[in-house]
């Protein structure tokens, strides 16, 4: 998605450096949990927990040995990982792409319009914008803002085969700019 060739040998060579980086970030989670309690920033799970858990879940599933080594001495993180894993993955069911598009096309998006005060970028409901990741896969989504906050922007757009949809993006990691 970045346009560069995928180089397995380069990834293997970088693994020791990346392991240290991963451990440093995991230690931040460990320290936060040592003072915060059950979850990172509240008495209940928040988006911060979900975002942090992704990396934990991915590494444990891909290389349990490396996961055990990198999380050694992190009892708060390991207990938190168990709490997060207990949420499960919902109840997915197989369906065809056509069936999913049919459901989306018949649904009416429900999203309250609004914003949270003065947006530093001047974004407001009704503005036509382009939104895309700031790292890779830079395929823009163009539409009209229905909701904006410091953490999120929701954009109403027409999706081929699904009709009107509202796509929610985090502000961190995405560029939001006026669209022509």
CATH topology of domain 8-85: Glutathione S-transferase Yfyf (Class Pi); Chain A, domain 2 (1.20.1050)
- Are the CB atoms for 42 and 63 separated by under 8 Å? no
| Per-residue pLDDT reduced to its tens digit, 91-115 | 888 999 889 888 888 888 776 666 6
What's the pTM value of the predicted model, to 2 decimals? Answer: 0.60
The verdict on domain 97-178 having CATH code 3.40.30.110 is: yes
Q: For the chain, what are the domain ranges?
A: 8-85, 97-178
pLDDT digits (tens, 9 = 90+) for 120-144: 888 989 999 999 998 887 889 999 9
């Amino acid at each position: 998605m970045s346009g560069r060739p995928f180089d397995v040998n380069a990834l293997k060579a970088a693994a020791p450096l990346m392991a240290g980086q991963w451990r440093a970030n995991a230690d931040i989670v460990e320290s936060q949990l040592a003072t915060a309690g059950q979850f990172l920033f509240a008495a209940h799970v928040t988006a911060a927990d979900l975002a942090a858990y992704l990396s934990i879940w991915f590494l444990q599933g891909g290389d349990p040995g490396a996961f055990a080594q990198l999380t050694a001495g992190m009892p708060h993180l390991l207990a938190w990982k168990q709490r997060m894993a207990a949420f499960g993955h919902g109840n997915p069911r197989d369906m065809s792409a056509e069936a999913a598009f049919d459901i989306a096309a018949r649904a009416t998006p429900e999203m309250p319009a609004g914003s949270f005060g003065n947006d530093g970028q001047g974004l407001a409901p009704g503005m036509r914008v382009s939104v895309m990741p700031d790292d890779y896969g830079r395929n823009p989504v163009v539409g009209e803002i229905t909701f904006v906050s410091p953490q999120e922007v929701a954009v109403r757009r027409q999706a081929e085969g699904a009709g009107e949809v509202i796509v929610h993006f985090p502000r961190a990691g995405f560029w939001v700019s006026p669209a022509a």
